[in-house]
DNA sequence: TGGTGAATGTTATACAGTAACGTGTGTTAC
DNA sequence: GTAACACACGTTACTGTATAACATTCACCA
């Protein structure tokens, strides 16, 4: 995520939490900032390292609790295949999300195609399965890396 | 996976490895058997417990190496959201796979819809991303649990 | 018969996540 | 005011997941 996107994400988070009556505390705000400032998905312990560099006290529950709040609010996503977190690029609407993970540069883009989501719900329903939420992580080459050599 | 499915999976694995010139050793075969014999996804350390019950020596790398081989051969799948493994229900053709995970009974079904897969590839291509492989895990209720109370 | 590479054994460690309990702080009820 | 309460955060300890690094064994072939 770019620096200006990061500032925009923080501003959006402020507004959303204000509107929802939830508390974006200093710690939660800082964790969101760390996640959004990272160009690539970042792990919980890497976030913790940054917090400690800040001079804060900190242990794993510190960061996991903040991340739980941010996940609930839809401000960050967790990538199950990487055990890492990224900022949501459009948090106003809660969504499962589909993620494009570049195997060359490590960047992650968010897709959020309703066609894909609905197609999955329908395909599941066709075999009697009632889909509630879905996790879609796509590995490949991003536009910038697409034509690079192996 | 049912017992007869398990036997069939082992037989299919023998044939595939034979045809490919890869070695389905005693250990790898036993790990595949353990995974296929489990009605639900099974974790690496649970597999390790079974191996030890067999009287084998064993440490985490033992089972992770066997699983790496089975994953490469497309004989098992890893469910990233559960950190667990299941036998592939039709290993002849390599595939990313789409998984239907029941939140009530814990069973997992394999979907493998080409429509879904192709839809994802197209949606990714539309934003310049070249998809190589995809991970789709769908949470909800299986047909048997669909109408059960919460 | 000795060399080569693959598979496995073994030890140690890194990384991910949670349980349980204590502490401070602000808000509400009386 | 102050007692009661809910919530966020600090702290310790632990469980679970996965890998690095090196030693050993074994199958196969020159
Ligand atoms: Zn998002
Ligand atoms: Zn890239
Ligand atoms: Zn499969
Ligand atoms: Zn079920």
pLDDT digits (tens, 9 = 90+) for B6-57: 999 999 999 999 999 999 999 999 999 999 999 999 999 999 999 999 999 8
Q: What is the pTM of this model?
A: 0.93
CA–C1' A61–C16 (A) = 12
* CA→C1' distance for A144 and D15 (Å): 41
Q: What is the helix (H) or strand (E) element at residue B16, kind and residue range?
A: helix B3-20
Burial of residue B9 (CB within 10 Å: 0-12, 13-18, 19+) is buried
Q: Taking the CA of residue B110 as centre, how many other CA atoms within 13 Å lie in the half-sphere pointing to its CB?
A: 19
Domains annotated on chain A, with CATH? 6-87 (1.10.10.10), 98-147 (3.30.1490.190)
Asked if B53 and B94 touch (Cβ cutoff 8 Å), the reply is: no
> pLDDT-based confidence at A5, cuts 50/70/90?
confident
Q: Nearest to residue B131, comparing CAs of A106, A82, A139, A110?
A: A139
Choose the weakest-confidence range: A72-86, B19-33, B34-48, B84-98: B84-98
Nearest nt to the B25 alpha carbon by C1': C7
Which of residues B4 and A137 earns the better pLDDT score? Answer: A137
Asked if A120 and A134 count as a contact pair (C-beta separation under 8 A), the reply is yes
Q: Which of A112, A142, A116 is nearest to B125 (CA)?
A: A142
């Amino acid at each position: 995520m770019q620096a200006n996107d990061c500032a925009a994400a923080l501003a959006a988070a402020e507004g959303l939490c204000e509107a929802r009556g939830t508390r974006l505390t200093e710690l939660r705000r800082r964790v969101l900032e760390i996640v959004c400032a990272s160009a690539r998905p970042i792990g919980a312990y890497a976030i913790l390292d940054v917090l400690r560099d800040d001079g804060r006290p900190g242990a794993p529950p510190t960061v996991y609790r903040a991340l739980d709040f941010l996940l609930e609010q839809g401000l960050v996503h967790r990538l199950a295949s990487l055990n890492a977190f990224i900022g949501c690029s459009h948090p106003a609407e809660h969504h499962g999300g589909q993620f494009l993970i570049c195997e060359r540069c490590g960047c992650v883009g968010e897709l959020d195609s309703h066609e894909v989501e609905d197609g999955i719900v329908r395909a599941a329903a066709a075999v009697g399965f009632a889909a509630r939420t879905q996790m879609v992580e796509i590995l490949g080459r991003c536009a910038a890396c697409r034509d690079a050599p192996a």
